[in-house]
Structure 1
Amino acid sequence: MQQTMPSFVSGAGLGLRRGLLAALQDSAVGQVDFLEVAPENWIGIGGRFGRQLRALTERLPFLCHGLSLNLGGFAPLDMNLLRAIKAFLDAHGIRGYSEHLSACADDGQLYDLMPLPFCEASVQRIAQRIRTVQDVLERPLIIENVSAYARLPGEMDEADFVNAVLAEGDCRLLLDINNVYVNSHNFAFDPHAYIAAMPGERIAYLHMAGHAQHSAELKVDTHGAPVCDPVWALLEHAYALHGVRPTLLERDFNFPPVSELYAEVAQIRALQRQRGHD
């Protein structure tokens, strides 16, 4: 039984990282519509950092984007982690919780997002894990399409696999536009068709980020650079097909002055307004 949750977010948001905490503490209200944190980085944090986080969660809507749930892995779900995440979400009035459609553990934490076999067996196994997560958290789970640099054997393509997991797990989608672009380059598929294939009724929100060009054949999702023009164009495409959705900018390192991040958030908001979103 899912409990009644606070209303979801709207508009344009920014990922909160520890290196941005002081700047956002002073200026985020009025510049962004919501913030997002990885709960694993904040559970149990007290002192000055804990007070600063609480001050922000009391003033702005927040989402959580998990790092280590290991939805695609074979090891049993970490129930202690799940219970700690639920307590964190409840304590801060978090509006939604997302995780990566990937594996990141099994016989030890990998600290990376590993690809999955796109097959029916994976769909059924992951969907069962998603249902367990939703039961424990008493809220819907939002899963994110991930960047990848290898393909494992499987009879589905990526878009079909994501759709199948969403339907079987009865969950929602965090559509990462940069990940679509990176994967479309690395695995030679049409990113516009991929976005068109996503089930619009399940899209909860979107991510935008920068990436690195490591070679002519390889792009890597780094979150360490500004969003590039083709990714901005894909965001417009997503809005045109599925309507405007809450959209968040991620930046994990190489932080510019916060005014430059706010300018990218403002660019998201401008595209939303062009599509008739107030």
Structure 2
Amino acid sequence: MVGIGFRKDFAAKFLNTTDLQPDFIEVAPENWIGIGGLWKKRLQQALEKYPLYTHGLSLSIGSPDALDFDLLKGVKKFLAETGAKVYSEHLSYSKCDNAHLYDLLPIPFTHDAVKHIAKRIQTIQDFLERRLAIEIVSYYSPVAAEMSELEFVNAILQESDCDLLLDVNNIYVNGFNHNYDPYAFINQLPLERVAYIHIAGHDQVSETLIIDTHGEAIVDPVYYLYQYTMNQLQRDVPTLLERDFNIPQLSELQGEIDRLKKIKADCLTKELYGIQR
């Protein structure tokens, strides 16, 4: 299964064309909770055709602030009403002193942060009565690190007993920016916890820096990393194509979806004889 984010930018065209035919759609619950009128109708139209996966933006897992239980109540109701298959969030923080920062900021790779976040994830899962898939985010500078990114992520997954959203592009971006091998990184993750995959385009702004934009087509090295990941997983993990702006013709997005589905099918049917890197 390969899906697409259901974005208001192209919702009307998407619902009235056959140019783009994903296997599922994804939304951020907080962008749709309590919505009415035209947009509620369009979401309902989409849900009549496609299963729903969700990816939150506002829980601020790493924040020192208390969890927002009003938000969680709304999320729980939304997930139930829409029959959402997965609820995922970012391993980052976006709120401090009750001020929303409108960005996904990195969390210090520290032992105290692991304990803090694991406890919050356990609380969230208990409240929602479902597992949470947490995403490894892109970042551009480590903050007060006591351990490696890999050690930090694996410790949180172990202590919280949550699922993993594996964003293949983020791993590629982080590997490039912080000079590590993304293939080796993926090999050392608990792949049995991968419940969901994201993949997107990025913008290389210099010889030493890539910015994770979700505004460009997927590049070949990220496709190759996805191919490697699927070959390691050997199971049909739902994959989302992310495109947040610079939206091309819907047929171009379908072309990316088709390539991802072909890679996945080759891996799952054991027709892949070599990994291109």
Task: Give the TM-score, by structure 2 length.
Answer: 0.94
- Is the 1:65–1:97 contact (alpha carbons within 8 Å) kept by the matching residues of 2? yes
Supply the AA of the counterpart residue of 1:148. Y
Matched, 1:15 2:31: no
1:260 aligns with 2:252: yes
- Structure 2 vs 1, CA of residues 101 and 234 (structure 1 numbering), >3 Å: closer, same or farther? same
Q: 1:29, CA displacement in angstroms?
A: 9.8
Q: Which amino acid aligns with 1:155?
A: E
Of 61, 85, 104, which aligns to 1:71? 61
**Structure 2 partner of 1:187:** 178
- Residue of structure 1 equivalent to 2:41: 51
2:222 aligned residue: 231
**Aligned position for 1:6:** none
Percent identity (aligned): 47
Deviation by residue 1:141-185 (Cα, 9 ceiling, x = unmatched): 000000001111222111121111111110000000000011111
Aligned to 2:150, which of 146, 149, 159?
159
Which residue of the partner structure matches residue 87 of structure 1? 77
Moved over 3 A (4+): 27-30
Q: CA separation in 1, counterparts of 2:46 and 2:105?
A: 32
Name the SS of the counterpart of 2:49 in structure 1: coil
Q: How does 1:129-168 map to 2 (within 5 A)?
A: 129-168=120-159
Partner of 2:92: 102
- Tell me which residue corresponds to 1:112: 103
2:273 is aligned to: none
Q: Does the CA contact (< 8 Å) of 1:29 and 1:59 recur in 2?
A: no
Paired residues of 1:195 and 1:238 also in contact (CA < 8 A):
yes
Corresponding letter in the other structure for 1:56:
A
Which residue among 240, 244, 259 is the counterpart of 1:248?
A: 240
CA contact (8 A) 2:19 2:254 kept: no
2:117 to 109, 126, 129: 126
Q: Mean Cα displacement is larger for which, 242-251 or 66-75?
A: 242-251
Structure 2: distance between partners of 1:27 and 1:96: 26
d(CA) in 2 for partners of 1:243 and 1:67? 29
1:38 aligns with 2:28: yes
Q: Distance in 2 between matches of 1:14 and 1:243?
A: 22
- Output aligned runs, 1:213-228, within 5 Å: 213-228=204-219
User: For 2:3, what is the secondary structure of its paired residue?
Assistant: strand
Indicate whether 1:275 and 2:267 are aligned: yes
Residue type at the aligned position of 1:180: I
Cα distance in 1 for residues equivalent to 2:113 and 2:269: 37
Work out the CA distance in 2 between the residues paired with 1:29 and 1:139.
34
Structure-1 separation of matches of 2:93 and 2:20: 37
CA offsets 1:70-110 (integer angstroms, 9 cap, x no match) = 00110001110010011111111111100000011112001
- Unaligned segments of structure 1, at least 5 residues: 1-10
Number of positions where the alignment pairs a residue of Structure 1 with one of Structure 2: 268
What is the letter of the counterpart of residue 43 of structure 1? I
| Contact 1:29-1:60 within 8 A present in 2 as well | no
TM-score between both structures, scaled by the size of structure 1: 0.93
Q: CA distance change for structure 1 residues 92 and 29 in 2, over 3 Å: closer, same or farther?
A: farther
Note if contact 1:118-1:152 (Cα within 8 Å) is conserved in structure 2.
yes
Q: Distance in 1 between matches of 2:92 and 2:211?
A: 16
Q: Which residue of 1 aligns with 2:274?
A: none
